[in-house]
Amino acid sequence: MANIKVETDIEYNNKFGLKMDVYQDPSQISDQRRAIIDIHGGGWWLGYKEEETEWATEFAEAGYIVFVPNYRLAPDYVYPAAIEDLVNLYGWIKDSDYRFDRNKIGAVGMSSGGNLAIELSLRTGIPIASWSGIVDLDSWIENHPKVKASNATAPIPGTPVGEINQVGSNDEYYKWFVLNYVNGDMNLLKEASLLNRIDSKAGPMFIANSLDELVPMDGVLKLQQRLTDLAIESVFQTVSGHGHGEIYMAHTQQATLAFFDDHFA
Contact, 22 vs 51, CB < 8 A?
no
What residues make up the domain containing 33? 5-263
Q: What is the CATH number of the domain that holds 242?
A: 3.40.50.1820
User: Strand 205-210's sheet: what is its strand order?
Assistant: 5-13, 18-24, 65-69, 35-39, 105-110, 128-131, 205-210, 234-239
Neighbours of 167 (CB within 10 A): 15
Percent of residues, the chain, with pLDDT higher than 90? 86
What does the pLDDT read at residue 1? 57
Cis peptide before 80 (omega within 30 of 0): yes
What does the pLDDT read at residue 45? 95
pLDDT tens-digit readout, 13-27:
999 999 999 999 999
What does the pLDDT read at residue 138? 95
Cα–Cα distances (Å) from 60 to 52, 64, 257, in that order, read 12, 5, 11
Q: How many domains does the chain have?
A: 1
Coil/strand/helix, residue 24: strand
Give the DSSP letter string of 75-127.
Answer: TTS-TTHHHHHHHHHHHHHHHSS--S-TT-EEEEEETHHHHHHHHHHHHH---
Q: How confident is the model at residue 245 (pLDDT cuts 50, 70, 90)?
A: confident
- 116 phi and psi angles, rounded to 5 deg: -70, -30
pLDDT tens-digit readout, 35-92:
999 999 999 999 999 999 999 999 999 999 999 999 999 999 999 999 999 999 999 9
